[in-house]
Amino acid sequence: MRISRRDVLCGGLALSASSILSRNAWARTLAAFSGNDDSAAALAAVAPRERLLFDFGWKFIFGNGENPAKDLGFGNDQGDFSKTGEFRFAEVRYDDSKWRALNLPHDWAVELPFVWDEEQKSHGYKPLGRRYPETSVGWYRREFDVPASDEGRRIAVEFDGAFRSVLVFVNGCFIGRNDNGYAPFRFDLSDFLHYGKKNMITLRVDASFGDGWFYEGAGIYRHVWLTKTDPVHLGQWESYVRSELKGGTATLSLATVVENQNKEAASARVTWKILDAGGATVATAEAPEQSIAAEGSTSYAATATIRNPALWSTDEPNLYSAIVTVESGGKAVDAERVQFGVRTAVFTADKGFFLNGKNIKIQGTCNHQDHAGVGAAVPDRLQRFRAGVLKEMGCNAVRTSHNMPTPEWVDACERMGLMMMCETRQMSSSPEGLAQLAVMVKRYRNSPSIVLWSIGNEEWELQYTDADIGQKVAAEMVELCHQLDPTRVVSAAVNGDNKQGVSLALDIIGFNYNLKFPDDYHKAHPDKAIFGSETSSAIGTRGEYASDKLRNTVSSYDVTVSWGETAEEWWTFYGTREWEAGGFAWTGFDYRGEPTPYGWPSINSQFGIVDMCGFPKDNFFYYRAWWGLASGLGPSLHLFPHWNWRGREGDEIPVWVHSNADSVELFVNGKSLGSQPVPRLGHVEWKARYEPGAIEARATKDGKVILTERRETTGDAVAIRLTADRTEIDADGEDVAVLKVEALDEQGRPVPTAENSIAFKVSGAGALIGVGNGNPNCQESDKAPRRSLFNGLAQVIVQSAKTPGAITIEASKDGWDGPNLKPATLTITTKQVDLRPSVG
């Protein structure tokens, strides 16, 4: 049966609202980001709902996808759907004393060993799927209290995402199920709770099936929330703010939906208070009181203006907040904070892309959502770390390949000035496909980062074989996007000539690779805006300078796959055509699964401009030179390779430089090999015979040396060095510090070829949650307190406890073999902060 348009548009499928905060959480959030107590006080004056983080204090055990006896009896006489309330494993009294204690988010796939099974290649060689029943099903339990005073409120559990098929039980009762790995979902628990008593929620998560062809994780890998509202409350994701900029004034169109879950009619009015980043009120509006039928809903709308608004841009990501309040019976009964920005984003067919009237190129990267050490369960702070890595090379946009992103990634991009191509997982006009699309658009339509929606990626059947079906499916999806959000264009990532199928329904045209097609398409369709939806697929292994099939390594001298383009090729194409809006390189970060160009023992891709840890590869500095120049990052110079080539004395070594200077001169042990002009969007290179010592590059602009960089031949590693992205973090049980591990020679220089195995000991007010080294062929544990260096680097991620104090990280030589290394110790201070409201 087909889903109705009204169900999608009116919220019948809207499942939760990530922007809703409790009174105390509003105060904490605004104070943390603005440092303004007035804004916190303004929010604290409203007395609405509670939204409690539900991440702490869970228990976990593996089930079984094949044998009920190993799956808590689920499916036999201890657990079937014949009677409500008879699932014994979901009751408070069930014995879970042998279960493992953990906190969410949690990805159990990253904890599993690697298996040489070619059917698991694209998923990173992890034992998940129907042939691995012992490791493909997991159970979670959490006991929680509900006070007697909550009787009469509506109480729901909200999941930001879980992988993949989730069955939810409360107090022995089956509540519902969710069957996709990326869209959020929620269930109203009000009728199934014991008020004033203990309650139990139990989840069965089955990762036997995948949604994609890449590593996706397994388990409750995003946040969970418990929300408590008045029966008269704001609809989930129904509040939006649309801005229209004319001259020095922004006109805001404000709208929301209020639901009444009482058994009798109610009256309510809605007010809006618009706050700037400092918490000052810059506008207000209200919608008059209306009657809402019992078990019904009513729409409210108003307008407001902001004079001389601070615009959101990639350079200055200014944000505003709308406090939306529902009043009924003379008091505030519900409220939420909606974060938004004022900006214009226009794609044109002849001049490319304009942000706030300024013509800029989209300098984007495609990214999956996993990271070294933690898999898909990425802590909030790590999202900001990843965004920061991309910003450092001049990246100004990201594509959420190939699924609805987590809210914290969207928030990081909003705050750090990254535009976004937001993509849904399933290209389909089926009820499920439209429901997933609707949730994505409604949830994120207030984000200034998002400049276009994507309805899918490389759907070969719908593009070619069944092109007539593809056009109709895409048209339905585009129409839904326009109805829910008329302010943005809709596209898709298409690998081909864009002459049929899905492409015929799109607002703007995205090309994946195939540089032979865009010019002809532009000539034939001069009224269509064009961009690179997925480009390049350059590959490389960090710190390696020769492709070696025996070692599964790829040269760092800008290599690509058969279907792709090098970094220089694709950006020279897109960066020099006025009508091209820019594009998204595949990929920003390396990611698990799809090991390319090799198979086993490679367990992740090598497409990244940075590796799995975020350590830059040499191509990073190509983008830093040319994207950074456009982004105002200034002069750039990067010299490679390293100069440790023991045993190759006298051999010619290719030496490259990425720079945006006028010219670069290369010196080998003080002798000049000549100066070369730097071609626009290109690089310069020499052949230098290796002899120990140093190479040095000197970059010149307007006849003056502006930058120099050296690579010296180092000695053997004798010591370890630890450095952290931050030495003070929040003591909230969530914040993380990201540590870089290096080996130094006797002169204190990093050894770029070091592969020493390092052991770690973490003590005090935190814990180790993951390790990595960026080696695409490394099958060491992501969770063990040890890791080998790969070409001189490794990474450790530590997370704070809720008690302030200090986290001490000790690094030493692992094992008895090999040369001695002087150990290193680093201390991270954890400071006391107001904790996010959470379930006790």
Query: Does residue 235 carry a pLDDT above 80?
Result: yes
CA pair distance 774, 770, nearest whole angstrom: 13
The answer for residues whose C-beta is within 8 angstroms of residue 227's C-beta and 6 or more apart is: 16, 17, 20, 49, 50, 51, 52, 155, 156, 157, 158, 186
> Helix, strand, coil shares of the chain as percentages rounded to 5?
15, 40, 45
Neighbours of 187 (CB within 10 A): 19
102-129 mean pLDDT: 97
**Quick one: average pLDDT of 527-535?**
98
Residue pLDDT, tens place only, 611-625: 999 999 999 999 999
Q: What is the predicted pLDDT for the residue at 7?
A: 37
Q: What percent of the chain has pLDDT over 70?
A: 94
At 78 the pLDDT is 61
pLDDT-wise least confident of 11-25, 31-45, 593-607: 11-25
Within 587-703, strands assigned E span 637-640, 652-659, 663-668, 671-677, 684-689, 694-701
pLDDT at 682 over 70: yes
Whether the pLDDT of residue 677 is over 60: the answer is: yes
Strand-strand pairing, 694-701 and 663-668: antiparallel
Residue 676 pLDDT > 70: yes
**213 φ/ψ angles, rounded to the nearest 5 degrees:** -115, 30
Taking 90 as the threshold, does the pLDDT of residue 77 lie above it? no
Mean pLDDT of 721-734: 98
For residue 395, the model assigns a pLDDT of 98
- Determine the Cα angle at 376 with ends 374 and 382, to 5°: 60
Residue 20 scores a pLDDT above 60:
no
Amino acid identity of residue 15, one-letter, is L
User: What does the pLDDT read at residue 38?
Assistant: 44
Give me the pLDDT at residue 3, please.
35
Average pLDDT, integer, range 88-102: 96
pLDDT band at 45 (very low <50, low <70, confident <90, very high): low
d(CA 448, CA 341): 5
Nearest Cα residue to 340 out of 243, 481, 255, 412: 243
Angle between helices 380-392 and 407-416 (to 10 degrees): 40
* Across 768-778, average pLDDT: 98
Distance CA 666, CA 657 (A): 9
Is the CB of residue 730 less than 8 Å from the CB of residue 753?
Answer: no
- Distance of alpha carbon 164 from alpha carbon 130, whole angstroms: 13
Answer whether residue 436 shows pLDDT above 50: yes
Q: Half-sphere exposure (CA, 13 Å, Cβ side) for 26?
A: 29
For residue 2, the model assigns a pLDDT of 34
